[in-house]
Structure 1
Amino acid sequence: MPSRPGAEGGPLRVTLVLDVAAVGGAEIVLRNTFAHLDPARVVTDVVCLREPGPLAGDFRAVSDGVTVLPRGGHHRLDRLDRAGLGRIPRLARHFRARGTDVVVVSHHHRAALTLARVAAVLSGRTRSVVAAHDMDLTRVGSRVLPRYVVETLFLSAGLALLAPSQGRYLHDEEGVGRSWRSRAREFLVPNGIPAPEPEPPGRRAEVRAELGVEDDDVVVLMVARLSRQKAHEVMIDALARAAHPKLRLVVVGDGTRRAELEDLVAERGLEKAVTFLGLRRDVPRLLAGGDVFALSSVHEGVPISVIEAMTQGLPVVATDVGALRDQVTDGVDGFLVGSGDAAALGERLVRLADDPALRAELGRRARERASAEFTIENTAAAFTDMVEAVARRS
């Protein structure tokens, strides 16, 4: 596709507006996407509305810089008070000075979601895109897009989706597309990850020795923050129901539920079968020592952890929530079970534990699928196509 020139005949200029450059799945995917864009077609910068945040340096390394536009005081970011509204003209001036063609806002950055879309309109030439990174929130009494955003989607030129099922959810459950006010052109920009570095020989044995597991143990890895969303208690119940002598659950992640979950493990007599590793920055390395990847979540978007596991050749056993059905095909490269169904989850884990050939086959298919579909190059290409289409106004 030929390049769509920006205002000065060069590449398109895209500004990402965040409340803060926090460490989260969506922010990491955006950072990686920016690193893989063709600078002849798209150049980026970042605006933070509260403070730079821990990923600011990462974004500076892959963009034209990070600008912070804080407001005074200590008011809530999502309130439309005067201090918050005062940043709208400042954002509009930034877009005009930058020559921004397209503004991108993430759904869970609530101040950016409100202020940046209005500023884009006021700038006179900039168009905005809302990026949705979650779904199934009605299960927990919440929403991906606030009602006022759905009713003002016409202010934006695009709605970026992670998967087809996410689009269906937003239409069916949150009212997207029900009126002219709630419509924006929809684009599919799937999550992807950079190709992992090949693991050195002996890595599997090294990790398993660190975990203290035997050669014939079946290690089930669960990489997820210790929150209600991830429903670790269902995974623990599944392990107890399975009662398989060789199943070992390794939990990577931390959170406020750790003590509660450790007590639950003790109550179920699973201390020797469950290990909590806490927050780790070497997840790909840990995956090399695993046999199965599992999630018991109540809701999800398109989990990066699942893509990482599939890339490493691990079959996935997960609850059928969010867009997981767009990542995993039941019985082909993993298994999907109903949310909260510990019995089914345990049965699938036992099936994989007892059948090494099945584990290997599903893992092989998972790796092939991830390598073909869930790459950062595919994400960057879809992102580029989206912003070029939005900027063309066609």
Structure 2
Amino acid sequence: MMLFLTAQLLYLLLSPACFGHAQEDDPYSLQFQWEFKDRDIFNPLPTCQSLAIRVKSYNTTDNSTSRGTPPYYMLALALRGIPRLYDIGESEDDLSWTSDFPGGTELLLTVLDSNSSVGGISPITRTALHGPSSACIKEQESSDFTVTANVTDTLNTCDPWGITVSGGVPPYRFTFAAPYSTVLTNFTSEGDELDTLTYINRAYPDSQLLVAVSDVSGRYASGTPIVDTAGSQDPTCPDFNTRFGNAQEMAKPQEAAQAAADKRRKKRIAIAVPCAIVGLLLIAGVVLLMRLLKRRKERLLGTDLDARPRTFDQETPTITEAHLNNDRPLTLSGKSNSGPTDRTTDLPHVAASARGRSQAPSTGAEGDRPQVERSASGELYVQHRDGGVNVVREFPPPYVAPVIPAGQPTT
């Protein structure tokens, strides 16, 4: 019962919608500030330990002005978890809060009064740390009431941030908070079918922005997205407005766009594959044609002969006088480049000596061989019989006395 009343109170506290940054015309804005009395409590934040809180006027030069309207509440926004609301007391001088989050939970803290005036948001996120006792720890429960965002890293000024809610009881309240800010920015849906919010980022850059979602019963959704802010310091963002929508309706154009993209991709593939095949066939045909033309040209020019270098054995025949001056058959002597072994080739039989200058050659097979004769001066003559009958006369011939005509005197 107490939890239900607290949730309802939270819903009532945050019901005034606050657009953009701090609104100067809001009579409940900038009423007070808050801090831990023990200034050594900064980060990490001990759990299961009562932490004294002090509230003071927003106008630090005149503390006699309003310091908010009791009772006061601590709103602990758990990053990516489920926020929790705590009643911290009614006396301005006797306020305290005990953290019951599990160790390691990152928190963004703020104090509210009964008029939903915000005492400012802590300058940094604090991390829960187990203290001397853990008896008070309440684990984060699983929930079917969730909130998700389409951006989870960096969000530039004037960029849209899509927030989607699933579960819970509509209408929903979207609460945006940034470290060191003096206010919370709230948007409340006006219909049961509106479960998405496209928020135009007007938070200051180089900081962080968190969004918490609660339903009509005051219960908070699990997830609590947070992003880093960046970009311009001008938050006016003309022609851009935050708007609500329906997740299913918003998904239809996205699905249609995806289907159209898939269709275009398939069409490109259907065109590209045949083109690629035809291109490859054309390239192969051109290469084959060039090779055929090259071979035809080589045949016409005669450059297609086998001109590869090879090694051949060469023999040089020689005739020596020793072969000519003996009765053995004449041989040709030569050496091969391919090895050290001498090779000889028999020549036809040659006569050992000239037996007579007028000797007629023999007939038959013996007469087909070349005859070698030596002249009186020692010169050798080789005569082949294939040119006809060989007649060898003395050379030079003897001189004959000239005929002296009758009546001429002789000397």
TM-score, structure 2 as length reference:
0.21
Q: Which protein has greater RCO, CA pairs closer than 8 Å, 6+ apart? A: 1
Structure of greater Rg = 2
TM-score, structure 1 as length reference:
0.22
